């Protein structure tokens, strides 16, 4: 049987294509850089959505995976020669480390009530932050360090930002389709069921733990990769990658965009990153704009009150309602014809 | 082997600090429908949950097909061949009707597919709502889905908690018919307040009161025994 391609897939592909063309129309450095941030945080927020939206696991320390990825690539390229081989090695290291840490965090806490996972991840992230600050010989402590990325062949070197842009964009698109496939697979359906009621899933004959651990590992690996992209894009790693605001950003992006939608977190990342950018200009206007955390609180409260399902979630509801109405109309007319 | 499919001996269950079940004795013979009766709060649901491993017995044993399953986790018990339809409709709101049906499938062999077709013939409405999210079904539709799903797996025993709750009489009739058909394939334990339904389906009955089994016997005997019905079931 040939699987019909969903209508939404075409829309996503079209949008991705426009994003490919975008830098040829608007190629200012700051803009490219901002878009790269959107892509990397889009990936990061999607990994957060896997936990929060699809499985109902709350993590307060998701930054640790992001930070692990960033430091893995940074340290590898800083201590070894900056070649493509080592770039690849650094990415591999990041993915493996992210997976291992997620695996153990999952095994340790996912059998307990959900807030234990939230607290353990928070504690672990703080631990990594301390480690990054104290292990100065490798991490340069809170100063952080810059590193070089491998030289691109020939004329590409002159368009390095463009290449990074494309790399991040392609990564985001591939990860999006991969994760969408995962969430629409039978495994994904079981995850949704677990989020709703673990006891029910268990009495259907499924062990919960393996599913939770699997998704925790997938999420950790993806988050770590986001950290890699982030570090590559700014060619610098500092302790801020382990900071709580990285986690909070992911949380906000997911909630604003729409929990459990995957595309929502990407849109959320777009909104938050652009908001960061423009609001930092506003700090001359009023001090409140300097304090991202204050704004975060306000936006968070507003989002939860007015958009509990997020932008994408709200849109889907509206569309579903309209479709439903149409179907009812059809039903009515056919009933009339029948009688 | 004895001719007993499921046996509860001296089962005591605590929920937090509350002692809910006191030395519950309960036996189910294969091929029969055993009805569990009792007032609200008598401990019927807790008994089913204890069998399923969702509540843990503090002492006593649950034996299924001659095997001690008391300490097993729910997923393990389910795999041994016990299906459970909880009283609050055990369906998932975020999944469509079709996904709800499929998420319950433990195997994908021909026998399971056959049963799936059979179930859909039994409840043709489900096909109509196949793509609708479980959360948007009416109470009766949810109940039907929940019961239908439990028929899809090959189980030796089905635990069904108050299937008639909140259903219109026509639908109750339908559920009765479906259980009658199911009876040919599996053994059933049915918790039911609706005495009409209980008496139509049941071969044997148990009455629970205050967490204790106070009576059991053939359903035919209970039908005649006005005194017993009045005392424990509040039926005049
Ligand atoms: N989570 C809980 N915490 C404390 N007590 C509980 C809990 N669940 C049930 N109980 C108590 O256990 C007793 C038995 O409850 P159970 O749900 O088994 O009754 P039931 O016979 O199924 O009643 P109903 O006919 O109303 O469904 C009740 O007294 C109830 O208050
Ligand atoms: Mg009950």
Cβ contact, residue pair B99, A189, below 8 Å? yes
Measured CA to CA, the distance from residue B69 to residue B53 in angstroms comes to 8
**Which of A250, A271, A37 minimizes the C-alpha distance to A164?**
A37
Contact (CB<8Å) B90/A203: yes
B48-77 average pLDDT score: 92
Domains of chain B, CATH where assigned: 1-81+156-235 (3.40.50.300), 89-154 (no CATH)
Query: Crossing angle for the helix pair A84-109 and A208-234, nearest 10 degrees?
Result: 150
Number of Cβ atoms within 10 Å of the Cβ of A281 = 9
What is d(CA B203, CA B89) in angstroms, rounded to the nearest whole number? 25
A285-323, pLDDT tens digit by residue?
666 666 666 777 777 788 777 777 778 888 877 777 777
Residue A4 — very low, low, confident or very high, per pLDDT cuts 50/70/90?
A: low
Mutation test of the interface with chain A: which of B88, B98, B99, B146, choosing the one with the most A Cβ atoms within 10 A?
Answer: B99
DSSP string, A254-270: HHHH-TT-SHHHHHHHH
Determine the length of chain B: 236
Ligand nearest to the CA of B232: 1
pLDDT at A240 over 50: yes
Domains, chain A = 26-306 (1.10.3470)
Q: Measured between beta carbons, which residues in chain A are less than 8 angstroms from residue B106? A: 204-205
Counting every residue written for chain A, the total comes to 339
pLDDT, mean of residues B50-57: 92
Instruction: With cut-offs at 50, 70 and 90, classify the pLDDT of residue B173.
Output: confident
Query: What is the structure's pLDDT at A333?
Result: 67
CA atoms within 13 A on the CB side of A288: 6
Q: Dump pLDDT digits (tens) for A59-94.
A: 888 999 999 999 999 999 888 877 888 889 999 999
Look up residue B192 and give its DSSP letter.
-
Please give the torsion angle defined by the CA atoms of residues B144, B146, B151 and B155, in that order, rounded to the nearest 10 degrees: -150
User: Which one is predicted more confidently, B172 or A321?
Assistant: B172
- Give the count of beta carbons closer than 10 Å to the beta carbon of residue B228: 18
- φ and ψ at A83, to 5 degrees? -120, 170
Containing B63, the helix (H) or strand (E) segment is strand B57-64
pLDDT tens figures, A155-188 = 777 778 888 899 999 999 999 999 999 998 888 8
Q: What percent of chain A has pLDDT over 70?
A: 90
Q: Which residue has the higher pLDDT, A114 or B207?
A: B207
- pLDDT score, position A13: 87
Q: List the beta strands (DSSP E) in B88-200.
A: 157-161, 187-191
Query: Measured between alpha carbons, how far is residue A214 from residues A46, A48, A103, A115 in Å?
Result: 16, 14, 8, 19
Over residues A46-61, the pLDDT tens digits come to 999 999 888 888 888 8
The answer, for B95 touching chain A at a CB cutoff of 8 Å, is yes
Residue A2 pLDDT: 44
Continuous H helices in A204-291:
208-234, 244-257, 263-282
Distance between CA atoms of residues B77 and B83, nearest Å: 9
Asked if the Cβ–Cβ distance from B86 to A200 is below 8 Å, we say yes
Q: Which residues contact A255 (CB under 8 A, 6 or more apart)?
A: A268, A300, A303, A304, A310
Question: pLDDT tens digit string along B184-201?
Answer: 888 999 998 888 888 889
Taking contacts as CB-CB distances below 8 angstroms, the residues of chain B near A202 are 54, 73-75, 78
- What does residue A309 show for φ and ψ, rounded to 5 degrees? -95, 5
pTM > 0.90: yes or no = no
The pLDDT tens digits for A115-131 are 777 888 888 889 998 88
Of A211, A50, A189, A3, which Cα lies nearest the Cα of B105?
A189
Tell me, what's the ipTM? 0.83
Contact status of A321 with chain B (Cβ, < 8 Å): no
Side-by-side strand order, sheet with B204-209: B82-85, B157-161, B187-191, B33-37, B204-209, B212-218
């Amino acid at each position: 049987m040939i699987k019909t391609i969903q209508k939404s897939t075409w829309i996503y592909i079209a949008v991705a294509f426009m994003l490919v063309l975008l830098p040829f129309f608007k190629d200012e450095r700051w803009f490219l850089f901002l878009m790269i941030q959107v892509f990397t945080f889009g990936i990061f927020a999607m990994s957060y959505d896997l936990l929060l939206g699809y499985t109902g696991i709350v993590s307060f320390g998701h930054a640790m995976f992001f930070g692990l990825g960033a430091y893995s690539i940074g340290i590898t390229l800083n201590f070894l020669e900056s070649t493509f081989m080592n770039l690849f090695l650094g990415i591999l290291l990041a993915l493996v480390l992210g997976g291992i840490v997620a695996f153990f965090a999952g095994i340790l806490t996912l059998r307990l009530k959900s807030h234990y996972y939230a607290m353990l991840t928070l504690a672990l992230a703080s631990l990594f932050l301390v480690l990054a600050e104290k292990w100065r010989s490798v991490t340069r402590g809170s100063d952080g360090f810059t590193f070089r990325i491998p030289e691109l062949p020939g004329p590409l070197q002159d368009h390095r930002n463009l290449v990074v842009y494309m790399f991040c964009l392609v990564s985001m698109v591939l990860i999006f389709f991969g994760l969408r496939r995962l969430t629409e697979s039978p495994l994904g359906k079981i995850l949704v069921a677990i989020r709703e009621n673990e006891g029910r899933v268990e009495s259907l004959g499924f062990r919960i733990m393996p599913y939770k651990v699997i998704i925790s590992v997938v999420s950790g690996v993806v988050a770590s990769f986001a950290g890699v992209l982030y570090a590559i894009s700014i060619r610098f790693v500092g302790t801020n990658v382990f900071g709580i605001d990285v986690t909070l950003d992911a949380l906000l992006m997911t909630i604003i965009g729409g929990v459990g939608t995957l595309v929502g977190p990407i849109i959320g990342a777009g909104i938050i990153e652009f908001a960061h950018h423009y609001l930092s200009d506003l700090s001359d206007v009023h001090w409140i704009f300097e304090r991202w955390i204050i704004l975060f609180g306000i936006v968070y409260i507003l989002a939860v009150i007015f958009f509990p399902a997020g932008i994408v979630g709200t849109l889907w509801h509206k569309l579903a309602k309209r479709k439903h109405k149409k179907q009812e109309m059809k039903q009515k007319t056919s009933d009339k014809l029948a009688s | 082997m004895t001719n007993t499919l499921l046996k509860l001996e001296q089962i005591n269950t605590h929920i937090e600090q509350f002692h809910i079940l006191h030395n519950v004795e309960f036996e189910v013979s294969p091929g029969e429908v055993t009805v569990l009766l009792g007032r609200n709060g008598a401990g019927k649901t807790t008994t089913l949950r204890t069998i399923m491993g969702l509540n843990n017995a503090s002492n006593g044993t649950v034996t299924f097909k001659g095997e001690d399953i008391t300490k097993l986790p729910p997923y393990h018990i389910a795999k041994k061949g016990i299906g459970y339809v909880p009283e609050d409709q055990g369906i998932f709101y975020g999944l469509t009707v079709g996904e709800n049906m499929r998420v319950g499938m433990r195997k994908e062999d021909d026998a399971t597919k056959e049963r799936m077709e059979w179930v859909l013939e039994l409840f043709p409405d489900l096909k109509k709502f196949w793509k609708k999210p479980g959360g948007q079904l009416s109470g009766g539709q949810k109940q039907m889905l929940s019961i239908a799903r439990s028929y899809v797996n090959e189980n030796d025993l089905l635990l069904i908690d108050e299937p008639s709750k909140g259903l219109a009489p026509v639908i109750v009739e339908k559920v009765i018919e479906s259980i009658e058909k199911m009876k040919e394939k599996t053994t059933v334990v049915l918790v039911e307040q609706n005495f009409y339904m209980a008496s139509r389906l049941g071969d044997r009955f148990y009455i629970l009161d205050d967490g204790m089994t106070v009576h059991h016997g053939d359903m035919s005997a209970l039908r005649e025994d006005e005194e017993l019905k009045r005392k424990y079931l509040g039926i005049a």
